[in-house]
């Protein structure tokens, strides 16, 4: 269909170009008006039939090659398109999973293959393109044609991830409470399960992993999905650094491993926190929140930092799945980690840029 439209467009464009040329040449160089019709010579030339070559032809020499057959083109949807995509994938020209639909991605992949193979780049699969491609690749396997679909992966945040964590916990692969966030801890737990189940160890949940896990476990109960949290008692105001008693302050004590949200001397919330390791310590001092990023991801350490509130360079208060899962067995890279996701989510909405942060012993 696309090729037919394209041919009609070319014919129309050519006709338009001829008409335009006639109009543009309708006046002589001296500005004389054109005649009302074509010249006699031109008229005779247009009306004269082609000379017979004696063999019933139209006078051409018959040397023009027949047009090459189109096998696959934009808009097609078939098993052969799926095979095309799988073969292009073998050569690194198709970067997605085969779908059987010839869309923009497939068009680009075919064009790239044609360029690399020395063909005219059209994005359309002619007989010559298909012949060369099949000669350069192997017949795709069933797995190549119908690869397993990803169910969940790193960075996802959903109820299904929470269910995944609860099911992994049933089998002893996830040690802490479900959070719904697919980070480093969940990736490691999935890898441990895949290894134990004899599956390909990827850390990503594809259909075979999810099918095996759901077959081995029971549907998590509500208390498995949302276990009660141990919320620490509110820190008494008299135990806080005096700098925390005026205005709006995130008051962070390295001695008690707690952070209190204090407004005009009144403690509104206290949560457990942990700090940086010896080689990457959390800096003490008086700062202010200069930037908030709800779904932040560290480019330096390639790790998630949800509900990040930055107060000193790259150091921030943020939720840590690792802290939630492993407690004080680990450490941050200098940030102030919070393990109560519900608390930090609420605090993120309440704290404003410009509010003070005090970190002290």
The C-alpha R_g of the chain, in whole angstroms, comes to 35
Above 70 in pLDDT, residue 58? no
Above 50 in pLDDT, residue 30? no
Q: Which of 182, 175, 189, 177 is nearest to 158 (CA)?
A: 182
Mean pLDDT (the chain) is 82
Above 60 in pLDDT, residue 114? yes
pLDDT above 70 covers a percentage of the chain that reads 79
Residue 220: count of CB within 10 angstroms of its CB: 18
d(CA 266, CA 2): 70
Residue 237: count of CB within 10 angstroms of its CB: 14
Res 42: pLDDT: 38
Torsion of CA 227, 228, 230, 233, to 10 degrees: 160
Above 90 in pLDDT, residue 51? no
Which residue segments constitute the domains of the chain, with CATH numbers given? 70-145 (1.10.101.10), 150-225 (1.10.101.10), 237-360 (2.40.440.10)
User: Which residue has better confidence, 303 or 138?
Assistant: 138
Token reading at 256 = 């008690």
318 is catalytic: yes
Average pLDDT of the residues in 104-112: 93
* Active-site residue, from 93, 296, 333, 335: 335
CA distances from 36 to 26, 33, 40, 72 (A): 10, 9, 12, 49
pLDDT band at 4 (very low <50, low <70, confident <90, very high): very low
Average pLDDT of the residues in 114-119: 95
The pTM of the full predicted model, rounded to 2 decimals, is 0.43
Please state the φ and ψ torsions of residue 195, each to the nearest 5 degrees: -65, -45
Q: Report whether 296 contacts 305 (CB < 8 A).
A: yes
Selection from 10-14, 46-50, 64-68, 325-329 with the highest mean pLDDT: 325-329
Q: Report whether 280 contacts 334 (CB < 8 A).
A: yes
Encode 145-177: b = buried (16+ Cβ within 10 Å), e = exposed.
beeeeebbbeebeeeebbbbbbbbbeeebbebb
pLDDT above 90 covers a percentage of the chain that reads 60
For the segment 142-169, what is each residue's pLDDT rounded down to a tens digit? 989 998 888 998 878 889 999 999 999 9
93 is catalytic: no
d(CA 31, CA 25): 11
Point out the least confidently predicted range of 59-68, 223-232, 351-360. 59-68
For the segment 241-295, what is each residue's pLDDT rounded down to a tens digit? 999 999 999 999 999 999 999 999 999 999 999 999 888 999 999 999 999 998 8
* Active-site residue, from 93, 296, 318, 333: 318
Residues 157, 307, 304, CA angle at the centre, nearest 5°?
55
Above 80 in pLDDT, residue 12? no
Q: Report whether 189 contacts 165 (CB < 8 A).
A: yes
Res 236: pLDDT: 65
d(CA 290, CA 314): 11
Q: Report whether 325 contacts 185 (CB < 8 A).
A: yes
For the segment 320-350, what is each residue's pLDDT rounded down to a tens digit? 988 988 888 889 999 999 999 989 988 998 9
For the segment 171-195, what is each residue's pLDDT rounded down to a tens digit? 999 987 888 888 888 999 999 999 9
Q: Report whether 310 contacts 291 (CB < 8 A).
A: yes
User: Which residue has better confidence, 53 or 203?
Assistant: 203
Point out the least confidently predicted range of 9-13, 76-80, 89-93, 206-210. 9-13
d(CA 187, CA 150): 14
Res 229: pLDDT: 55
Above 50 in pLDDT, residue 32? no
Res 57: pLDDT: 46
Residue 107: count of CB within 10 angstroms of its CB: 18
Contacts of residue 301, defined as CB under 8 A and 6 or more positions apart, other chains included, come to 333
> Taking the chain, what is the end-to-end CA distance rounded to the nearest angstrom?
74
Q: How many residues does the chain have?
A: 361
């Amino acid at each position: 269909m696309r090729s037919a439209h394209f041919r009609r467009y070319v014919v129309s464009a050519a006709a338009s170009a001829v008409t335009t040329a006639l109009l543009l040449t309708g006046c002589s160089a001296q500005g004389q008006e054109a005649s009302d019709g074509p010249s006699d010579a031109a008229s005779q030339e247009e009306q004269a039939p082609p000379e017979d070559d004696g063999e019933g032809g139209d006078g051409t020499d018959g040397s023009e090659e027949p047009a090459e057959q189109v096998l696959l083109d934009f808009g097609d949807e078939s098993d052969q398109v799926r095979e095309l995509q799988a073969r292009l994938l073998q050569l690194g020209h198709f970067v997605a999973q085969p779908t059987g639909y010839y869309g923009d991605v497939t068009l680009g992949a075919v064009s790239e293959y044609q360029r690399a193979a020395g063909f005219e780049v059209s994005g359309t699969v002619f007989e010559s393109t298909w012949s060369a491609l099949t000669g350069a690749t192997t017949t795709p396997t069933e797995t190549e044609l119908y690869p397993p679909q990803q169910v969940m992966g790193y960075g996802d945040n959903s109820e299904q991830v929470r269910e995944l964590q609860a099911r992994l916990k049933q089998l002893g692969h996830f040690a802490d409470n479900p959070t719904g966030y697919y980070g480093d801890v969940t990736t490691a737990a999935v890898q441990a399960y895949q290894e134990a189940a004899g599956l390909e160890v990827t850390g990503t949940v594809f259909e075979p992993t999810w099918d095996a896990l759901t077959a081995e476990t029971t549907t998590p109960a509500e208390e498995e999905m949302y276990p009660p949290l141990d919320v620490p008692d509110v820190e008494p105001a008299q135990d806080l650094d005096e700098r925390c008693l005026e205005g709006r302050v995130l008051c962070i004590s390295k001695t008690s491993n707690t952070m209190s949200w204090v407004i005009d001397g009144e403690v509104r919330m206290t949560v457990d926190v942990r700090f940086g390791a010896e080689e990457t310590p959390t800096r003490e001092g008086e700062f202010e929140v200069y930037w908030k990023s709800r779904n932040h991801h560290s480019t330096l350490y390639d790790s998630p930092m949800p509900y990040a509130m930055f107060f000193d360079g790259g150091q921030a208060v943020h939720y840590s799945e690792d802290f939630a899962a492993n407690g004080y067995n680990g450490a941050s890279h200098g940030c102030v980690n919070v393990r109560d996701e519900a608390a930090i989510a609420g605090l993120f909405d309440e704290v404003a840029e410009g509010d003070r942060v005090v970190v002290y012993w």
